[in-house]
Structure formats: structure tokens, C-alpha cells
């Protein structure tokens, strides 16, 4: 009798490989080599994982079409099957995979659209935290404002793209033709956050991304402002702060 | 091992419930339907926060809840994923469910999670592994679990025990209960050419704490034999309703779940399936009362 470990090993190996030969310990009353019955398991595994990817990357799917997406996802899952039953985290590597996937090299912005969708998923499942309002921040002593550092919302994510990734994503959400987006209009920076139940996707003005990133790494307001201003002359601190308060980005500050 | 106080604290009535789907969150909260309970897949509530927890907490305040794990790989030969078991305990602790269940199946081998409920041979070696895994789950989670009978498409040459004997032995050695999936009995009976009714006649009903009902798809194997697939994507067939009625009329009165996980229907459609199961349960309870 084969060892239980050998049976499971050959079963597992045949689930995702190309041939999918039925393991020798399997049988059925109707057919001694139950290939089509074993294929039900193979199909279940592929469909479950591909559906999982389709649910996480709906705009990528829309951009490349369902058939192509499912083919690409199949290549991805075979090369990068999930390593945990914590499937909320599965698919994180898909944007990087798309970046190098030879069949989508004529859609250079696709990987960044996938990144945006992935960050939305992260924000969706991130920890809940109450945001501070303008009145909470008004309590900060003015003299000490530049030395103050801030705690940002646990769902806050940033994406910097060489492509107009926000415009491409938003056009697809709105159901507007992609031809309305000038793909050569330059890069866009995006902030993603879920202050309450809804995930917000916000296009950032020049310099704001550097500013938020600096704050997020614990750098005090004064220095974060200087850094943003050095690299982006038009950086407007007032505008950046009010935008961040408006989307619930602040959850605490150093006293 | 069983935490009796929390068990009694949030009992699940011997009524019908349904698998809770995000598509129905808002309508359930708006209309507060007269339904006995809800069940969720633990893995869908393992994130830190966000809408899933928000809505499940609101529903939990209004209804009894059951938590059903789909990723622990209890039937696998490898050690259980301790991190995953810890996450499962976190979900159970957070929602204090009336029932907690998992599957007689495996889904992880080596480092790979296959996201499906895969079958195992039934023999002394696999029995010992399953028993050790269930002991570990009940120790870590700190309460009794129910183990669900599988829907299978193949059998193993290395099996030398009947599934029911395997289940009985697991219950005897671990003290776990059973989740009887009547559709799985019908599917497996058809797929392996035995009588679902005979299987049910031999089933240890005294250990059943919950019943599952679902729809299945149909195909043919290489030899042209009928093969049923546990798809959870449609309404139950009449044959499964008939098996269920016989189980209930034989005196088993336990919480019964309608599972509909794919091609999820409208709330009204799903609720009507639950009401049908409720009528069967109530009918048997009324007969019992008359008999007394």
C-alpha cells in the first residue's frame, strides 16, 4: 500500500501542472483510471484561484478582456500558487508579474492599474481607526506645529506612477471610453484611504506624495514641508493639510 | 474541552439559516428577516477591519451566528498551519459563534494552499492524523468543533474503512461533533454508486449538531457515468429535499443551513429556500409535540 504522504504528494503535484495525470492510488466504480473525475478537482482549484484574482483586479480584467485575464491569471497561479489559507493576501505579486508578462508589454500602464487595485484591497481590509478632524488638530500649540509628527490612518496607501493611472482607473469606474484619457499626459500620484466604510481614491497634486510619505515615516511637519517644497516648487502646505484632514488621513499626533 | 458557558450563551435554534453573503448585508439589516441564524466562512473575516467586520458585527448583534472554516486542511498529512489556526481562533473569539465547524478534507500540501476541499483515503494512518489535527483544533480554539462529511469524486485504493466508520471513530477519539451535509451524501452516493438513504440510515445522528443543504452541478465521467459536483451554485434538487425530510422525520432536529456560494441569488430567493427548510423542521417539531 502506498504511504499516505506519497498519495497526497502525487495528488497535489497533479493539481496545478500541465499534464494533470491522475494519481495511481485513485479509482472509481465506473472507471479504474478516473481522469475526468480527477479533472473536477483540477478545474475547481484553477477556477477558485482565477475567480479570486478576477474579484481583486476587476479593472485590469476590463482593460484586457475576460478571456485574456483568465489566461494570464492561470499562468500567474501556476508560477505563484497561494502559500497560505489567508487568501485575503493572495495576489499581491500580480502587478509585478504583469510588469514582466510579455503579452502585455503594449499596455505599459497595466501593472500600475493592478497596483492601484491591490492597494484598494489592502485599504478595504486594513484596521479601523477614528480620524482626527480639524478641531482636534486645532488643539496643537502653534509654536510647536513644525515639530509635530503625525500618525496616519492604517488604511492609507500611496502610489506613484509614470502613467496617468488615476485617470485610467477612474475612466473605467465611470464607464467612460479610455480614449478620453491622454495616455501621454504624464504620471499621476494617488492616495488611497478608507476612513470609514468606503475606500477613497484621490489624485494628488505635485509634491503631496513626498509630503505624505515623509509624514508617514514619522518626520515632523516642518521638515516634511521643506522636503516637499525642495522637490516641488509649487507645493502648498495649507492645501496639503486641508486635503489630508478632509480624507481622514490623520489619526494622532505627537504631543 | 468544550466551553459550555459560551456555547449556551449564544445558542443556534433548530431552525433554518443561510450562508451570509456580502451582497445581502444591506437588505438583511434593512428588513431584519425572520430567519434563525447565519453562517460565515471564517477565512472571509480574517482581515484586520473594514466593511466585512462592520456588517458582520451588526448582523451578529441581531442573529445567532455559526463559523465555518474552509482552509484548515484537517485531512492533510502535514502539520496544521499554526498561524492559520491562530487566525481562526481570533475570528471565533471575536464573534462568539453558536457553532463552529470544519471539513474532512485537505487543502494544503507542502507550502501550497489549493483553495479546494480535497479527498483523503480512509485507513488507520489517515485516521490517526485527522484525530491529532482535531485534538489540536479543539485545544487551541477552546471548544468543540463539528466535522463535515465530504462530497467526493474519486475513491482511493488505499482506503480500507467505510466513510461512516471513519467518522464514527473520529468522534469517539476526539469528542468532536458532526456536520451532516445531506447534499454531500447525495453527491458522494451517486458518484460512488451507493444508496444515499442507506448511508443516512447508518449515520450516527446522535452526534450531528448541524445540517448543510446545497445545490450541485452534474457531469459525466470518462465511462459515461453520472458525476455530481458540489457546486453550491443553484437550488437544491427534490431528491435532496426528500432525503432531508427523512432525516428530520427520524427525529433529528438541528440547525439547518442553506449554502449558496456561487451565482448568489437575490435575498428573496435565498430566504425562500430557508423558509422551506424551516417548514420541514417545524412540521417535525409539531408532530413530536402531538406524539407527546
State the average pLDDT over residues B129-146: 98
Closest CA to B187 of B161, B215, B159, B220: B215
- Residue A73 C-alpha cell reads as 491569471
Grade residue B222 by pLDDT with cuts at 50, 70 and 90: very high
Out of A57-61, B3-7, B11-15, the most confident range is A57-61
Burial of A113 (0-12, 13-18, 19+ CB in 10 A): buried
**How far is it, in rounded angstroms, from Cα A213 to Cα A225?**
11
Answer yes or no: do A40 and B153 touch at CB < 8 A.
yes
**Looking at residue B66, what DSSP letter applies?**
E
Grade residue B76 by pLDDT with cuts at 50, 70 and 90: very high
pLDDT in tens, B19-73: 999 999 999 999 999 999 999 999 999 999 999 999 999 999 999 999 999 999 9
**Looking at residue B131, what DSSP letter applies?**
H
Chain A CB within 8 Å of residue B201 CB: no
Residues 213-252 of A with CB under 8 A from B: none
The SS3 of residue B25 is: helix
Closest by Cβ to B50, choosing from A7, A82, A194:
A194
What does the pLDDT read at residue B5? 39
**Half-sphere exposure in the Cβ direction for B42 (13 Å, CA):** 29
What does the pLDDT read at residue A49? 98
CB B85 within 8 A of CB B130: no
- Can you give the residue range of the structural domain that contains B112? 4-291
Residues 233-292 of B with CB under 8 A from A: none
Residues 64-83 of A with CB under 8 A from B: 81-83
Chain A CB within 8 Å of residue B84 CB: yes
Instruction: Work out the minimum CA distance from A143 to partner chain B, whole angstroms.
Output: 36
pLDDT in tens, B166-219: 999 999 999 999 999 999 999 999 999 999 999 999 999 999 999 999 999 999
State the average pLDDT over residues B136-141: 98
Question: Which residues are within 8 A (CB) of B171 and not within 5 positions of it... i.e. 6 or more apart?
Answer: B147, B177, B178, B204, B207
What does the pLDDT read at residue B83? 97
**How far is it, in rounded angstroms, from Cα A191 to Cα A210?**
11
Higher-pLDDT residue of B163, A2: B163
- Residue B167 C-alpha cell reads as 467518522
Answer yes or no: do A30 and B158 touch at CB < 8 A.
no
CA A87, A93, A94, A97 dihedral sign is negative
Answer yes or no: do B47 and A124 touch at CB < 8 A.
yes
Chain A CB within 8 Å of residue B190 CB: no
Domain count, chain B: 1
Closest by Cβ to A124, choosing from B50, B110, B114:
B50
Residues of A in contact with B22 (CB under 8 A): none
Closest CA to A34 of A53, A13, A49, A20: A20
CB A38 within 8 A of CB A56: no
Grade residue B9 by pLDDT with cuts at 50, 70 and 90: low
Answer yes or no: do A45 and B114 touch at CB < 8 A.
yes
**How far is it, in rounded angstroms, from Cα A164 to Cα A171?**
11
Answer yes or no: do A87 and B113 touch at CB < 8 A.
yes
Chain B CB within 8 Å of residue A42 CB: no
**How far is it, in rounded angstroms, from Cα A170 to Cα A42?**
36
SS (H, E, C) B245-277: HHHHHCCCCCCEEEECCCCCCCHHHHHHHHHHH
What's the CATH code of the domain at B62? Answer: 3.20.20.150
What does the pLDDT read at residue B285? 80
Q: At B62, phi and psi to the nearest 5?
A: -105, -20
Closest by Cβ to A30, choosing from B46, B121, B221:
B221
SS (H, E, C) chain A: CCCHHHHHHHHHHHHHCCCCCCCCCEECCCCCCCHHHHHHHHHHHHHHHHHHHHHHCHHHHHHHCHHHHHHHHHHHHHHCCCCCCCHHHCCCCHHHHHHHCHHHCCCCCHHHHHHHHHHHHHHHHCCCCCCCCHHHHCCCCHHHHHHCCEEECCCCEEEECCCCHHHHHHHHHHCCCHHHCCCCCCCCEEEEECCCCCCEEEEECCCHHHHHHHHHCCCCHHHHHHHHHHHCCCCCHHHHHHHHHHCCCEEEECC
CB B64 within 8 A of CB B56: no
Residues of B in contact with A86 (CB under 8 A): 43, 46, 71, 83-84, 87
- Residue B96 C-alpha from the chain's centroid: 17
In this predicted structure, the answer to whether residue B2 has a pLDDT above a threshold of 60 is: no
What does the pLDDT read at residue B8? 41
What does the pLDDT read at residue B3? 40
Q: CA nearest A2 in B: which residue? A: B158
Q: What is the ipTM of this complex?
A: 0.94
- The ranges of chain A with pLDDT < 50 are none
Best of B79, B117, B127, B221 to disrupt the A interface by mutation (most A CBs within 10 Å)? B221
Answer yes or no: do B153 and A84 touch at CB < 8 A.
no
Amino acid at each position: 500500500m502506498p504511504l499516505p504522504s506519497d498519495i497526497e504528494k502525487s495528488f497535489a503535484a497533479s493539481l496545478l501542472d500541465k499534464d494533470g495525470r491522475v494519481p495511481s492510488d485513485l479509482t472509481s466504480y465506473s472507471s479504474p483510471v478516473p481522469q475526468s473525475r480527477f479533472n473536477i478537482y483540477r478545474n475547481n482549484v484553477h477556477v477558485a484561484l482565477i475567480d479570486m484574482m478576477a474579484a481583486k483586479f476587476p479593472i485590469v480584467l476590463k482593460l484586457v478582456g475576460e478571456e485574456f485575464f483568465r489566461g494570464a491569471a492561470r499562468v500567474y497561479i501556476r508560477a505563484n500558487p497561494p502559500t497560505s489559507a489567508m487568501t485575503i493576501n493572495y495576489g499581491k505579486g500580480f502587478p509585478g508579474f504583469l510588469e514582466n508578462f510579455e503579452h502585455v508589454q503594449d499596455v505599459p500602464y497595466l501593472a500600475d492599474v493592478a497596483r492601484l487595485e491591490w492597494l484598494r484591497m489592502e485599504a478595504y481590509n486594513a484596521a479601523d481607526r477614528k480620524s482626527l478632524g480639524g478641531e482636534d488638530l486645532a488643539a496643537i500649540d502653534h509654536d510647536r506645529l513644525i515639530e509635530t509628527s503625525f500618525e496616519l490612518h492604517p488604511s492609507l496607501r500611496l502610489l506613484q506612477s509614470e502613467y496617468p493611472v488615476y485617470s485610467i482607473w477612474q475612466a473605467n469606474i465611470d464607464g467612460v471610453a479610455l480614449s478620453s484619457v491622454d495616455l501621454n499626459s504624464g504620471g499621476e500620484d494617488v492616495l488611497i484611504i478608507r476612513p470609514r466604510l468606503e475606500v477613497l481614491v484621490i489624485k494628488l497634486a505635485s509634491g503631496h506624495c513626498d509630503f505624505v510619505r515623509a509624514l508617514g515615516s514619522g518626520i515632523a511637519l516642518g521638515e516634511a514641508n521643506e522636503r516637499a517644497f525642495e522637490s516641488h516648487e509649487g507645493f502648498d502646505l495649507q492645501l496639503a493639510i486641508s486635503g489630508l484632514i478632509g480624507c481622514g488621513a490623520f489619526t494622532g499626533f505627537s504631543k | 474541552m468544550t466551553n459550555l458557558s459560551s456555547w449556551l450563551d449564544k445558542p443556534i435554534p433548530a431552525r433554518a439559516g443561510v450562508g451570509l453573503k456580502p451582497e445581502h448585508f444591506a437588505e438583511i439589516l434593512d428588513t431584519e428577516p425572520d430567519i434563525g441564524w447565519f453562517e460565515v466562512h471564517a477565512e472571509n473575516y480574517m482581515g484586520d477591519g473594514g466593511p466585512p467586520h462592520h456588517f458582520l458585527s451588526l448582523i451578529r448583534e441581531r442573529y445567532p451566528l455559526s463559523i465555518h472554516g474552509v482552509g484548515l486542511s484537517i485531512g492533510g498529512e502535514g502539520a496544521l498551519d499554526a498561524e492559520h489556526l491562530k487566525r481562526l481562533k481570533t475570528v471565533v473569539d471575536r464573534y462568539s459563534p453558536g457553532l463552529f465547524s470544519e471539513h474532512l478534507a485537505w487543502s494544503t500540501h507542502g507550502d501550497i494552499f489549493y483553495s479546494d476541499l480535497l479527498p483523503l483515503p480512509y485507513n488507520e494512518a489517515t485516521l490517526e492524523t485527522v484525530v491529532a489535527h482535531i485534538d489540536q483544533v479543539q485545544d487551541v480554539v477552546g471548544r468543540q468543533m463539528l466535522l463535515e462529511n465530504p462530497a467526493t469524486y474519486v475513491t482511493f485504493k488505499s482506503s480500507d474503512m467505510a466513510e461512516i466508520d471513519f467518522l464514527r471513530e473520529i468522534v469517539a477519539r476526539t469528542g468532536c461533533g458532526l456536520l451532516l451535509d445531506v447534499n454531500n451524501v447525495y453527491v458522494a452516493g451517486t458518484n460512488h454508486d451507493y444508496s444515499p438513504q442507506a448511508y443516512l440510515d447508518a449515520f450516527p445522528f446522535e452526534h450531528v449538531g448541524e445540517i448543510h443543504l446545497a445545490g450541485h452541478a452534474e457531469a459525466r465521467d470518462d465511462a459515461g457515468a453520472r458525476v455530481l459536483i458540489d457546486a453550491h451554485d443553484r437550488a437544491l434538487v427534490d431528491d435532496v429535499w426528500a432525503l432531508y425530510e427523512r432525516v428530520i422525520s427520524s427525529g433529528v432536529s438541528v440547525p439547518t443551513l442553506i449554502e449558496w456560494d456561487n451565482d448568489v441569488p437575490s435575498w428573496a430567493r435565498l430566504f425562500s429556500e430557508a423558509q422551506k427548510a424551516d417548514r420541514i423542521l417545524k412540521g417535525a417539531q409539531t408532530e413530536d409535540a402531538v406524539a407527546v
